[in-house]
Chains A and B, each alone.
Chain A
Amino acid sequence: MELLWKSGQVVQSSQTQTSPSNPPPILRGSGSGGGEGNAPLQNLLIQEDEMASWLHHPLSQDYFSSELLYSDPATQPLSSVSLAQPPPPPPDTPYRQVFAGRRAENFMNFLSLRENIFTGGRVEAGPLVPVVRETLQVGSSATTPLSSATESFVVPATEIGQVSSTFSVPGLGRKDKAVAIARTQSLEVSKAETEPIQIQPATETESADDRKRKEREETIVEIQETEEASGSTSRKRSRTAEVHNLSERRRREKINEKMKTLQELIPHCSKTDKASMLDDAIEYVKWLQRLLQMMSTGSGMMPIMYPPNMQPFMPHMAMGMMGMNRPPFIPFPRTPFPRQAHMEGIGPSYPAPRYYFPVHPSRVHLPRSQPNPVSNQPQFPVYLNPYSRFSSLPQIQRPPSLQNQTTLQQSFRQASSSKEHEDQDNQPTG
């Protein structure tokens, strides 16, 4: 029989109790068979009660009730059945998943609470939440992902530890509690990780459930130990490992953050795989460099089509392409200006306009299309005219327009001289 404290009420969980003395709404199923099964629940609740009293946040009560409601259908059948009988398999599986889900929810709430309270709270808390949510969904679908879901709990646990460690002002008491929570969570997780194989095939049996309950009991005891003083080497070892985990998680979270930012920057990036996303990023940067170089000097190769999915722009570009196709390469060797390179580049490069569209519409500023949204269309056929005129070359040699072009080139060069230099360096390597 263990005494479990539940938000001001001491509830005795006794294995001999067959009927769940309907406990206070805060803690349900603490009686009878649900006692040990509720140990993890109570474990969390203990921590959360401490957190609640400390945070003075209504949200804590919310997830208390939500958590308990969540656990109710799972624990009630457990508690209603006498301990002498093994609990029916169905509640086991959902219970575990439910438990896993609750853990994720709790951590999410923890994180949101911390964000609320610690203004300017760690950024990791933010992106952490969707991570937890994702893993939560995964975990709820099958027992196999449970291990991964529990692993994800280490992340919020370590995050909590991190957050608490960074904000030492709130007081060491909370820090200890948070660290203890993190430690116990990680301990539980580590134990859960070590026994996922055993648990999963044994989900249907009582032994796995008992094993898990014993884990919870142990962790409860460990909580008390850790809160008092940690002298055992196992504590220290796990703490060191946890520190490593913490730093590693933090580093990973930073990297994930930046990957997300990068993903937002890259247009038409629908890939969730990190490797392919980085590949896309590399290609995009190369393409931007080439594009800028082309725009500024008119020299350089035309960038290859960047995003493969061009359907929305195809009809638009088809007109342009047709316009461009007509005079593929009117020879302009006589024009000494870089504009020459423009024309030559443009000839083989009618993909170029295509590349541009996917980039710019995805961005906010569209200087070209916005000022002349309507005139873009009629401008395409205009291409035909100047190109047809090129067959009679003299017009190209108009001095004033040439001067304009020259100034354009010069201004571009001045603006991006350094970058061009780098681009030219890049070109052979890119």
Chain B
Amino acid sequence: MSNRRSRQSSSASRISDDQMIDLVSKLRQLLPEIRERRRSDKVSASKVLQETCNYIRKLHREVDNLSDRLSQLLDSVDEDSPEAAVIRSLLM
């Protein structure tokens, strides 16, 4: 991300280059795949954003899976049992 390029396109992006760098680095810390990448300073913002989208979708799927399991478990457990309360608290 050269300054020259960012200057030229600053009007289009409306975000400072430093801000972008900062946020991208933060996202990179969160994303498990990119964290282990070599040449970490060269990861493009586009790639980071793509990985973030993928990661969020993956997390969504996992949460859905867990929710499914919890609801199934809830059905298998007595309604008034403490476990049911636990499960419900997790689900809701």
Q: Which residues of A contact B (CB under 8 A)?
A: 148, 151-152, 155, 244-245, 248-249, 251-252, 254-256, 258-259, 261-262, 265-266, 273-275, 278-279, 281-282, 284-286, 288-289, 291-292, 294-296, 298, 320, 324, 339, 342-343, 346, 352-353, 356-357, 359-360, 363, 365, 367-368, 371-372, 376, 379, 382-383, 385-387, 389-390, 395-396, 398, 401, 404-405, 408, 411-412, 415-416, 419, 422, 426, 429-430
CB closest chain-B residue, reference A429 = B29
Residues of chain B with a CB closer than 8 A to A320's CB: 92
Q: Is B73 an interface residue when CB atoms closer than 8 A count as contact? A: yes
Residues of chain A with a CB closer than 8 A to B89's CB: 324, 342, 346, 352-353, 383
Residues of chain B with a CB closer than 8 A to A152's CB: 12
Residues of A contacting B: mostly: helix
Question: What are some 6 contacts across the A-B interface (CB < 8 A)?
Answer: A248-B5, A255-B45, A275-B20, A275-B23, A292-B62, A405-B86
Query: A284 touching B56 by the CB < 8 A rule?
Result: yes
- Complex Cα distance, B30 from A429, in Å, reads 9
Query: A387 touching B9 by the CB < 8 A rule?
Result: no
Residues of chain A with a CB closer than 8 A to B14's CB: 273-274
Residues of chain B with a CB closer than 8 A to A256's CB: 12-13
Within 8 A of A (CB), among B30-52: 30-32, 44-46, 49-50, 52
Q: Which residues of B contact A (CB under 8 A)?
A: 5, 8-9, 11-15, 19-20, 23-24, 26-27, 29-32, 44-46, 49-50, 52-53, 55-57, 59-60, 62-71, 73, 75-86, 88-92
CB closest chain-B residue, reference A266 = B56
Contact of A262 among B5, B24, B52 (CB under 8 A): B52
Query: B12 touching A252 by the CB < 8 A rule?
Result: yes
Contact of A356 with B52 at beta-carbon distance under 8 Å, contacts A404-B76, A416-B62 already known:
no
